[in-house]
Structure formats: C-alpha cells, structure tokens
Amino acid sequence: MYLKLLNKENKIAVIGLGYVGLPIALEFAKYFDVIGFDINQQRIAMMQQGQDPSHELDSLAFINKNITFTSDTEVLKQAHFFVVAVPTPVDDYKVPDLKPLLKASQTIGKVLKKGDYVVFESTVYPGCTEEDCLPVLEKESNLKAGVDFKIGYSPERINPGDKERTIDKILKIVSGNDQEALAEIAAVYGQIITAGIYKAPTIKVAEAAKVIENTQRDLNISLMNELAIIFDKMGIDTKDVIDAASTKWNFIKLYPGLVGGHCIGVDPYYLLYKAKKIGYDPQVIHSGRRINDSMPGFIAKRLVQMLIQKGKSPQNAKVLVMGVTFKENVSDIRNSKVADLVKELMSFSINVHLVDPYASPNEVAHEYGLTLMDSPSDQYDAVIVSVGHQHYKELTIDYFKSIMNGTPILMDLKGMYQNNDSKITYWRL
C-alpha cells in the first residue's frame, strides 16, 4: 500500500477536515495524492480557496499540495487509504456521541474495496474501533476485515494554537489489526512525521493511550482547582503557593483554571463510559471531572460574594468577561467553560458583556446562544479575564481601571497580572 501511495497509483482520503483532519491532509498532500472530504460544503468552498475555516493555517499551507477538496462521496471511490478524523463529542448527559464516527464509517464502507486500509484518528474509548466502527465497515462493504481490507488506529495529537509542535514534529502512535497492517500504516505516517513513529502492539492499546493522555492532565488540573478552592477559603494566594512549592525539584508546576476544549474536558468521559459498561465505576476520574466541571459555578459565586461585600446588588451589576475560546490565541470555542461561566453569572441576573478578538460572533451565538460584543464598554463593576490571549497579557491595571467604576473588581483567572493598586480589588485562582 505504501509504495502504491508514494508512486501515486493509489490515493489517500481524509474524512473530516477540522482542526485534526485538515493539517494531516495537507501534510500527506506533500507526498501523496489526497482527497479531503467533509460534509460541510461551506467549509469545502473555503478550503478550495486556500482558507482554513478553523484559522489555524495560513494560505501558504495550501500551496503546491496534491489535494482535492470535496463533499461528494462519489469521489471517495478513487481512494484506497482512508483516514477518519471526525469529531467525537459527548452529549448533554456526558455520554459519548458516536454519530459522526459511525456515519463516517458508513460512508467509507459504501466505497470500500478489497485491499483498502481504514485508519481512525478520532479519540475514542478502548475497543471502539473494532467493536463499533468495524461492524459498520463490514456491513456496508460486504467485505471482511483482515481478509479483504485492513484497519488501524493512530490517535491525533494536534495542539491548536501551537506553532512550534506542528503535526510533523509530534511523535505518532500507530496500530493495525495485524503485523502487515501495522507495517504499512507506520510507513505511510512515517513519510510525514519527522519526530518518529511508535508502533503500539494492538489497536486497543493505541486507543487507551490516547484517552489516558488527556485523563491524566484532567486529574492533575482538578487537583490544582481543588487546592485553589481550599486556599481561597483560607485567604492564601494559590499562585504564591505553587511558585514556592515548585522550588522542589520533583514538584510538577501546574495551575488551576477552566478546563474546556475537546480533549481534556471530553476524553475522560469516554473512558468513564467504557469502564461503567464493563462493570467498574471509576472514582478518581469521576471526581476530577466533577471538580473541573464545577469551576464556572465556583467563580461565579465568588464574584457574587465580592460584589455583595462591596455593597453592590448582583442584579444591578455590569460585568465584562474577556475571552471565550477554550485556550489562548485560538478561535476554537468547542466545550468552552467560559460560556458556562457566563451563564452562571447570568443566573444571578448579572448583566454580562462578552468579548474575544479570536472567536466568531456567529459561532458563539449558534453554539451557546450568547452575544459577542465588538469591544468593551465602560463603568463595569467587575472584569473577568478568562483566557490568556497575547493581547490581554499586554494590558495594564490602569487599563482595567479605565473601563470600571469607582470600586472595581478584577478577576484574573490566568494569573497574568500583578496588582499594586489599593483601589482595585484583585482576585485570581
């Protein structure tokens, strides 16, 4: 398969061209003939014009690439190596939503041919590729895996906003349903990944490795968030404590914060779901998720307490929230915990203004029903800086005072500022 791809006898199809799919499709297109497939025709039209709908890649990334962007499933019949990079979210009840993944499997199954390969990159729970996706491929194609076609799993490790650790510089885990599949899949990815290839012994091991990478981060941050709550009640600055503790050589320096985005805030629920299905109720993972999900409520209630201490009625207060994307310097608003914070504040009848130079007003309105302002107003009773955008890091305490009233409160959720002004009430996680 690898040699046929390299000689342009066969084509690669990447299914799903979001934050994961588009970068890998363009990287493959440096060496192979690639079909970039997405069901969103508006996104396809943008990519055909050399524009990244996710605003992660500039137009230069599209130049001199052997790639065809399409939403036509008929075009997929030309492909022999399929890479699935569709979203794997959770629903309102925190249950894995496999509909995009199963729909992609169904689409591929209808065009699957003998000798083809299907590799999944979407984050799933251990067993999902072989137990959920594979039966769909076999049913739609009337082919048998391991006999007529090969499958594999290679977890994505895209880090939105990171211009240093680009896709080619991140070590890639690959796996296959047998040794031949493993070798061929490793060779294909090895063509574009300079950081190296790690061959996992089984597909389930590769799936499990991906899901615990983010579960571990989730748990570490949940510890810091719980410590922040404890230290806040004790009147101790958490950042000062962390800075002091980090002088010990083996202390892991992490900070509290809102845990959003697709990876850390979602992946643990896939592991929780699978663990419960096999009869085990995880305690530590569930506890970490509960703490991290509760942080918007904790911050909102803390602000209400501070407003009341200032003699202000929450329902008459005007608050500015700066930043709604899930992390700094990106436009991605998926699973934004800032949106949860805004809704918590609004539940106290607080008048909330929301700004973010990176986020799309249409996407924020569609996803969360919230209005994104073009720029801040003034006379705010409090300002919450919730995302560490570079632009926000350059702001000064004097700036915040200029847009607030006489008894200002500044909540710095990212610990970016140093306040030496006694006229401003400064609080950070």
pLDDT for 158: 83
Average pLDDT over residues 157-176: 89
Annotated catalytic residue within 79, 174, 228, 263: 263
Residue 228 has pLDDT above 80, yes or no: yes
Fill in the DSSP letter of residue 130.
I
Residue 79 has pLDDT above 90, yes or no: yes
Residue 161 has pLDDT above 80, yes or no: no
pLDDT in tens, 305-330: 999 999 999 999 999 999 999 999 99
pLDDT for 262: 78
pTM: 0.92
Contacts of 76 (CB under 8 A, 6+ apart): 13, 15, 35, 37, 82, 107, 108, 111
The answer to whether the CB of 34 falls within 8 A of the CB of 192 is no
pLDDT for 39: 96
Q: Which residue's structure tokens are 């650790």?
A: 165
- Torsion, Cα of 11, 16, 18, 23 (10° steps): -20
- C-alpha distances in Å from residue 339, one per residue of 114, 243, 246, 345, 377: 47, 29, 32, 10, 19
**3-state SS, residue 205:** helix
Active-site annotation holds for 133: no
pLDDT for 103: 98
Average pLDDT over residues 155-167: 84
Residue 160 has pLDDT above 80, yes or no: no
Place 421 in a pLDDT band, splitting at 50, 70 and 90: confident
Average pLDDT over residues 340-359: 97
pLDDT in tens, 120-148: 999 999 999 999 999 999 999 999 999 99
pLDDT for 263: 82
| Beta bridge partner(s), residue 320 | 353, 383
Fill in the DSSP letter of residue 9.
S
Residue 385 has pLDDT above 90, yes or no: yes
pLDDT for 34: 98
In this structure, what are the phi and psi dihedrals at residue 340, rounded to the nearest 5 degrees? -65, -40
**3-state SS, residue 320:** strand
pLDDT for 65: 95
Domains assigned to the chain = 2-201 (3.40.50.720), 237-428 (3.40.50.720)
Which alpha helices (DSSP H) does 191-277 contain, by range? 203-234, 238-245, 267-277
CA angle 332, 334, 338 (to 5 degrees): 90
Place 428 in a pLDDT band, splitting at 50, 70 and 90: very high
